[in-house]
Amino acid sequence: MSAAGEKVRKCVICGSACRVEANHVGGRNHIAWFTCPLCGEHHDRFHALLRQAVVDLQYTSDPLERGIRVLKAILIFAWMVVEGLHQAMRQSRKGQHERDA
């Protein structure tokens, strides 16, 4: 339980407050300041998608390669956000149809 006035972090994908951590979207080796809260499930999914797309967030001294890696990771993250919004919209519409019936 949170103290009065304490903000509860929620996953930006699903809204869950379970196991939420600040995820380094572009990798802590590249842009450590860019974080977004993700639940454990979506954090694991994000890293699985990075591996599937062969996005290496290990440090490299090549600034162009770092930029490419960051942008690929950000695009994967953005896709996850869009999919989360799409799923929330479908659920909302389904609930509205059930209430109207």
Choice between 58 and 100, residue whose per-residue pLDDT is larger: 58
**How confident is the model at residue 4, as a pLDDT?**
57
Q: How many domains is the chain partitioned into structurally?
A: 1
Structural domain containing residue 40: 21-100
Greater confidence (82 vs 3) lies with 82
Q: What is the predicted pLDDT for the residue at 76?
A: 97
Rounded to 5 degrees, φ, ψ at 29 are -85, -10
pLDDT of residue 1: 46
- Residue 16 in domain: no
Compute the average pLDDT of residues 86-91: 92
The answer as to whether 15 is a domain residue is no
Mean pLDDT over each residue of the chain, to the nearest integer? 89
% of the chain exceeding 90 in pLDDT: 72
CA distance 50 to 101: 42
Residue 3 covered by a domain: no
80 burial (CB, 10 Å; 0-12 / 13-18 / 19+) is buried
Position 5 in a domain = no
Return the structure tokens found at 5.
Answer: 């006035």
Query: What's the pTM?
Result: 0.81
Provide mean pLDDT across the span 65-90.
95
